[in-house]
Structure 1
Amino acid sequence: MDDAQRVIYRGEPFTGEVAEYQSGHLISLDEHTNGVPNGLSREWYQDGTLRSEGVVRDGRPLGEFKEWHPNGVMKSRKFSDRTLVSLCEEETWDERGVLLTSWRRDDG
């Protein structure tokens, strides 16, 4: 990574998929354009269970981004738009699926 936190490969900002492994297990896979996260972003727990999934544009979340507990139950769902006040809504659940919080930005 360079000072601007861009992924660099062979001296140039990287375009393509960046995979991260831990103890031989794929734990993240992110698409990059010119060294910046741009596209599908996914993470897994070491047992292969999906941990999070969403889309990033120019390094910022865009649209729906989901996160799961290790047992596969939804942990959070966030929705972001392209404005500077990116986060529009968020919901969180406990490991049993009980809704803990529900928040929506009031643009009115």
Structure 2
Amino acid sequence: MTSRVRRIDVDDPDVDGDYSHRLLYRGEPFTGEAEEYLAGRRVSVTSYTEGLKDGPYRHWYPSGALQAEGVMRSGFLAGEARRWHENGVLARRLLHSEDGRIALAGCEWDESGAPTRTWERPDTKENE
């Protein structure tokens, strides 16, 4: 037996936020997927658990081109997150620890695909 994912539209008048930056639906922390629409076209879908971003997310440009995707854990980026320029060229790749607490590495590219910035978290292990 499969369970259905609960989905809401972030523009629903029953959607709100609290001081802890949690998403609320009808006054309660929301668990499920929140979608956002612009001119009738879906531009984002984000997973939530108890009001915090938790799980996969995807964002699209109004043109329909994929803008960003990744995974959140308790409100933090976790694992790999990617963002694209509207022309489809990868713009940014970030790598975080699986719990989202530590940024590990990142790369950025311009609209033609030329690298513009790369960084990596320095090794914190002491030399043996």
TM-score range, shorter chain: over 0.9
Provide structure 2 residue ranges, at least 5 long, that are not aligned to the other structure: 1-16
Which is greater in Rg? 2
Counterparts of residues 17-96 of structure 1 (less than 5 Å): 17-81=33-97, 82=99, 84=101, 86-96=102-112
Amino acid at match of 2:88: G
Percent identity of paired positions between Structure 1 and Structure 2: 40
Select which of 94, 99, 118 maps to 1:102: 118
CA contact (8 A) 2:31 2:49 kept: yes
1:40-94 deviation digits (Å, cap 9, x = unpaired): 011000011000000000000000000000000000000011374x211000000
CA contact (8 A) 2:72 2:100 kept: no
Distance 1:83 1:63, change over 3 A: closer
Distance 1:44 1:103, change over 3 A: same
SS state at 1:65 partner:
strand
Relative to the length of structure 1, the TM-score reads 0.94
CA contact (8 A) 2:78 2:100 kept: no
CA contact (8 A) 2:77 2:100 kept: no
- Report the structure, 1 or 2, having the larger strand content: 1
CA distance in 1, matches of 2:23, 2:103: 25
Which segments of structure 1 move beyond 2 Å, counting only runs of 4 or more? none
Amino acid at match of 2:54: N
Provide structure 1 residue ranges, at least 5 long, that are not aligned to the other structure: none
Relative to the length of structure 2, the TM-score reads 0.80
The CA RMSD measured in Å over matched residues stands at: 1.1
CA distance in 2, matches of 1:74, 1:6: 30
Size of the aligned set, in residue pairs, is 107
